[in-house]
Amino acid sequence: MSAEGCWVTDQNDRRYLDFSGGYGVFSLGHRHPKVVAAVKDQLDKIALSSRVFLNPLQARLAHRLAKLCPEGLEYSFFSNSGTEAIEASLKMARLSTGRTGFVSTNGSYHGKTMGSLSVSGRDKYKAPFEPLVAPSQCVPFGDLEALDEALNEEVAAFLLEPIQGEGGIHVADDEYLRGVRDLCTQRGVLFIADEVQCGLCRTGRWFAVDWAGVSPDIMTLAKSLGGGVMPIGATVFNAEAGKAYKGRPLLHTSTFGGNPLACRAALASLEVMENENLAENAFRSGQVLKEGLKRLATSYPDLVRDVRGRGLMLGMEFHEDKFGGSLIFEMVKRNVIAVYTLNQPRVIRFEPPLNVGTREIETALNALQESLAETRRRLGKSE
């Protein structure tokens, strides 16, 4: 197999247009030449390192993120994945607040290691591993009143995806995000924004919280941070959240986190995002794709319930779970890759590379239209 840009080629030399984007990993497409070149160059210098020497690339990346992230998020801890970034944020929240509990939202997804699983919002993946490690409560997504009731004196942090990825592409409106920020401040609870999937230009801004103009206390990043070439996670935090680590940096560490190779890939990725205006392109191309999806929804009201999302993080919800699986199968037959969301299988997500062009969008929409027609025919649905 091989891949480049928006395209994946299988072992039989059949090409597929990738509109799944590796669940947000391939924001720059596959094997972006500038990221690949940076990684190859770094391999000729030093790939991994111990903590004996300072890592200038890690310092550069932390400085770059401090410049890009919402106000106050000036410090970074680097790991290898999104779930590790969440684990670091949970430990930080407990340490800095002296509290042990967490609140998250129904349908949320924060990872599958024990801590991040504890604060995720679907019992199917939690029940086999109970008892979990963190006392956690889930509240309805977008419900400020429920959050207000849940934030008691035992809660260390509230975790929120500004756009739920695996929960079905649900977008937190701006007023809700501002309300979350205010409530957390009033109750002495840390606000953790999980932007592992929706961050880094995917929604048309650098970060999804930027639409509401709010600054969380902690923000987690991963997936596209490595440019689709290297795995890397980041827990970015403000001084208040990180105060308990002062003088005690060894309380939480990672052998491979922030290694030179991953940091070099991340620096190259951020440079590409900025130089190629990918946030702007995600906004403009997202409008084109969303309008096309809405037109198809109007033509197939018997199959499609809703189209929603922001930028190039879009979802199409169907009336029944079986429609989503059928659509994915039909689209693959037409050489387009799309996937459903893990916690809501009746929603197909569309997360193409942020540099996707109009021609690729038209190709995907045509394949979707044909797939909808075939699904309607096979399931015996009337027009």
Q: Quote the CA–CA distance of 104 and 141 in Å, as a whole number.
A: 9
User: What pLDDT shows up at residue 381?
Assistant: 60
User: What pLDDT shows up at residue 382?
Assistant: 55
Are residues 210 and 98 part of one domain? yes
Count of CB atoms situated within 10 Å of the CB of 284: 15
- Give the dihedral of Cα atoms 115, 121, 122, 126; nearest 10 deg: 20
Are residues 119 and 48 part of one domain? yes
Q: Phi first, then psi: what are they for 258, rounded to 5°?
A: 70, 25
Are residues 325 and 221 part of one domain? no
Q: Quote the CA–CA distance of 251 and 77 in Å, as a whole number.
A: 12
The answer to whether 312 and 350 have CB atoms below 8 angstroms apart is: yes
Instruction: Count how many domains the chain has.
Output: 2
Q: Quote the CA–CA distance of 197 and 207 in Å, as a whole number.
A: 10
The answer to whether 334 and 16 have CB atoms below 8 angstroms apart is: no
Q: Quote the CA–CA distance of 309 and 287 in Å, as a whole number.
A: 10
Cis link prior to 131 (omega < 30° from 0)? yes
User: What pLDDT shows up at residue 383?
Assistant: 56
Are residues 266 and 133 part of one domain? yes
Are residues 203 and 183 part of one domain? yes
Report helix, strand or coil for 284. Answer: helix
Are residues 353 and 236 part of one domain? no
Report helix, strand or coil for 5. Answer: strand
Are residues 72 and 159 part of one domain? yes
Report helix, strand or coil for 123. Answer: helix
Among 224, 242, 326, which residue's Cα sits nearest to residue 278? 224
The answer to whether 28 and 354 have CB atoms below 8 angstroms apart is: yes
* CATH of residue 44: 3.40.640.10
Beta bridge partners, 102, equal: 136, 157
Are residues 37 and 26 part of one domain? no
Query: Which residues in the chain come in under a pLDDT of 70?
Result: 381-383
User: What pLDDT shows up at residue 195?
Assistant: 99
CB within 8 Å of 133: residues ≥ 6 apart: 114, 115, 118
Q: Which domain holds residue 113?
A: 33-275
Give the dihedral sign, CA 347/353/358/360: negative
Among 37, 34, 3, 32, which residue's Cα sits nearest to residue 20? 3
Are residues 352 and 226 part of one domain? no
Are residues 90 and 192 part of one domain? yes
* CATH of residue 336: 3.90.1150.10
Of 275, 292, 309, the position where a domain reaches its end is 275
Residue 98 φ/ψ region, left for φ over 0, alpha for ψ in the -120 to 50 degree band, beta for the rest: left
Report helix, strand or coil for 126. Answer: helix
